[in-house]
Structure formats: C-alpha cells, structure tokens
Amino acid sequence: MRTLQLQRFAAGERTERATPRRRQEARKEGRVARSPELTSAVAFAAVLVALRILGPAVWGEWENLIQRDLGGSALKSWTVEGVRALMATQVMAAARIMLPIAAVAAVIGLAAAVMQVRPLFVPQLLLPDFQRISPATGWRRIASLQGALEALKSLLKLAAVVGVAYTSLASLAHQMINLSAAELDAVPGILGRAVFNLAIRVACAMVVIAAIDYVYQRYSLERSLRMSKQELKDELKETEGNPLVKSAVRRRARQIASRRMMQNVAKADVVITNPTHYAVALAYQSDTMNAPQVVAKGADFVAQEIRRRAEEHDVPLVENPPLAQALYRTVDIGQEIPPDLYQAVAEVLAYVYRMRAKGRR
C-alpha cells in the first residue's frame, strides 16, 4: 500500500524551480554559483604552462643576471651599501623576469572567475558587515550543518591533493636512487623535471576537484533558490497584478467601450441587422472618409441594444442578413469596410438616402 507524502503539497514546501525574476534578484544580491578553488586551480595550472613555455628563457636570463652581478663579486669590496644596491637590483630584475608569468596567472584567473559568474558588480558587498565579524555569528556558522559540510569538503580536497602528491613523491623517490649514477651537471635537470611533473599532477587534481566543487555550488544555489507554490502565486500577483483586479479592470474597460460604442450609434447613417442576432452600425462622411466605417456592432443582447438606440435616434434599420454577418465577422469597430463589400453597402446607403429624401424612415 502506497503512502501519500502530503508534505509535498504543503504551501511552505519549496519544490518549484526558481523563476527568472528570483534568479535576477539573487544575482543583484551577489548570490551566484562560484568556486574560489576553481579560480586558484586554473591560475596555478596556467602558471605551470607559462613556466613550461617561458621557463628556458626565464632561467637563461636569470643565469646571465647572476653571472653579471655576482661573477666578479670576489674583487668587489663588500659594504652595506653595496649589498643593499645588489639586492635591490636582483629583486627588481627578478620581478621583471617573472612579470610575464604573473600576468598570465592574473589574466587566466580573472577569466576563470568571470566565466563562472559573468560580469557582476555588487556594491553592497563592499560595505562592511559587522555580523560577519561577530564571534557569535561566526561560531553559529561553524557549528551549523553547512559549516560541517564545508569542513568535510575541505578535508576531502586536502586528502585528494595529498594522495596525488604522495603517489608522485613515491615515484620520485625511485628516481632519486638512480641519481648517484648520473653526472653532476644532469642532476638539476632531473630534479627540475621531477618537481615539475609533480606540480602538474597536483594542478590537474586541483582542477578536477575544483570543477566538482563548482558543480556542487550550482546545485546548492539551485536548492536555495527554490520556491514554494505560495511564493510563485505571490510573485505572479506582483508581476502581472491580482487576477481579480485585472478582471475588474477589463470589465470596466469593456463597459466604457460599450458605452462609447452605443453613443456612436446616434451618429450612424444606417444599422444593418440580421434581423435579431447581429446589428452593425455604419457611418459615412465623404469629406473625411474613404469608405463607410463601422462605428458599432454586436450580437444577441448587444444587437438588441444597438437597434433600440437606433430607433431612439431615428437611425434607419435595414435588414440584410448576409451583409450583416459579413460586416460583423470581418470588420472591427472603427475600421472602414473592405473593398469587396463596397457594392453591397453602397446599395444599402443609396436606399437609405432615397428614403430620407422622401421623408420616410
């Protein structure tokens, strides 16, 4: 026997996907899916790639710099001022040499951050929030379930990186045993390649872990943005208006339009009827209109009201069912009749004008 989960139908249960408006409001508040670890991991991988490409040139320039400044140091008098000048020169030269690699890391890291959240500027986040630095608030955040999950996630990340580093160091240890048989000049190159391979593996592990974290952040954000059925109804009322109010407005608009239409019946030249189901009032002024114009039309009760108004204002009534139906179905109020009805309407107007000339209704 199946049991119904009635809580799923509760008004407060957040089971509905977030609307575009709710997502936009959350974005304005800075609530977006992002993983800082992904930015740092991609930047670290970019640094390694830049070192792989630019490393030989950087190392060669550094060797020339050391030979130039320290090659003849034995002949120089070592003074405090000389050492300070030498250190300043070395630091500035090192910064200049490493600048391209740092620029690559900065650009790639910025691109990774922008790709996660797209261009976003939230001035509210620049203001100080004293609740964040409150010890009580911080302790509640740490002791909460979310804090425990974040701590567990950090431990898993650390364990994964340490595991990759350990396996890489284990393979590096086997290489160290063979260094005794290598020539002394080849040792730095062997060690450099081993360390670089270790860094590459760690970077790959960091990128994979950060990508998983980014997927989790998106999932967590989606869950936090979910809405209840009542919230959906409230938002619909705010964006589109209360249905009852909208219905009342439409009803009022129809009443105003109907009243204005009935007032136009008095200005009509003729009312063509079906005889009881349809009524269409036409007006024609040769100096301002290219063709006769429908000033009022209706069916059933509205048609009866149009005929009554026409009789009150001595507007001629002409019974012509095919023409009345054609006008009612094809011409809107305020529009001129189509050319294919010119002949039929002209005959009706000519008949009306003849009757007026004879003094008959």
Same domain, 176 and 312: no
Same domain, 153 and 287: no
Alpha carbon distance 51, 232 (integer Å): 53
Same domain, 50 and 198: yes
Specify the residue for token string 């011409």.
331
Is position 57 within any domain? yes
Alpha carbon distance 29, 117 (integer Å): 13
What is the number of structural domains in the chain? 2
The HSE-up count of residue 2 (CA atoms within 13 Å, CB side) is 3
Q: How far is CA 249 from CA 179, 245, 259, 261, 302, in A?
A: 89, 6, 15, 18, 20
Alpha carbon distance 31, 126 (integer Å): 14
Same domain, 165 and 301: no
Same domain, 251 and 193: no
Q: Domain of 352: which CATH number?
A: 3.40.1690.10
> What per-residue confidence (pLDDT) applies to 184?
61
> What per-residue confidence (pLDDT) applies to 187?
60
Is position 1 within any domain? no
Q: What is the CA radius of gyration of the chain?
A: 42
Alpha carbon distance 101, 341 (integer Å): 81
Is position 316 within any domain? yes
- Paired residues of 318 in beta bridges: 272
Q: Which of 209, 234, 259 is the last residue of a domain?
A: 234
Q: What is the pLDDT along the chain (361 residues), one digit of tens a residue?
A: 444 444 444 445 777 888 888 888 888 777 787 888 888 888 888 888 888 887 777 777 777 776 666 655 544 556 667 667 777 777 787 777 778 888 888 888 888 888 887 776 655 555 555 555 555 555 565 556 666 777 777 787 788 778 877 777 777 666 666 666 656 666 666 677 777 888 888 888 888 888 888 888 888 888 888 888 888 777 777 666 666 667 776 777 777 777 788 888 888 889 998 877 889 999 888 788 888 888 888 888 888 888 888 888 888 888 888 888 888 888 888 888 888 888 888 888 888 888 877 765 4
> What per-residue confidence (pLDDT) applies to 135?
59
Q: How far is CA 32 from CA 37, 108, 116, 237, in A?
A: 15, 20, 9, 26
Q: Is 179 helix (H, G, I), strand (E, B) or coil?
A: helix
Q: How far is CA 129 from CA 71, 73, 122, 138, 209, in A?
A: 55, 55, 14, 12, 31
Instruction: Provide the total of helices (H) and of strands (E) in the chain, helices listed first.
Output: 11, 6
User: Which pair of tokens denotes residue 142?
Assistant: 């740490």
> What per-residue confidence (pLDDT) applies to 229?
82
Question: Please, what sign has the CA dihedral across residues 82, 85, 89, 94?
Answer: positive
Same domain, 348 and 302: yes
Of 267, 271, 257, which is closest to residue 306 (Cα–Cα)? 271
Q: Which of 234, 268, 284 is the last residue of a domain?
A: 234
Is position 268 within any domain? yes
Same domain, 32 and 89: yes
Same domain, 269 and 299: yes
Cβ-Cβ contacts under 8 Å for 81 (sequence gap 6 or more): none
H helical segments located in 8-144? 20-28, 36-70, 80-117, 135-143
The HSE-up count of residue 24 (CA atoms within 13 Å, CB side) is 3
Same domain, 268 and 227: no
Same domain, 37 and 99: yes
Residue 95's CB: how many other CB atoms inside 10 A? 10
- Paired residues of 283 in beta bridges: 293
Query: Regarding beta strands 270-273 and 317-319, do their DSSP bridges make them parallel or antiparallel, or are they unpaired?
Result: parallel
Is position 291 within any domain? yes
Is position 52 within any domain? yes
Q: Which helix (H) or strand (E) holds 346?
A: helix 342-357
The HSE-up count of residue 220 (CA atoms within 13 Å, CB side) is 14
Q: Is the distance from CB of 153 to CB of 220 less than 8 angstroms?
A: no
H helical segments located in 178-242? 187-225, 229-240
Question: What is the DSSP code (8-state) at residue 138?
Answer: H
Q: Which of 234, 265, 300 is the last residue of a domain?
A: 234
Peptide bond into 321 cis (omega under 30): no
Domain containing 53: what range?
Answer: 15-234
Is position 93 within any domain? yes
Same domain, 23 and 49: yes
Same domain, 208 and 261: no
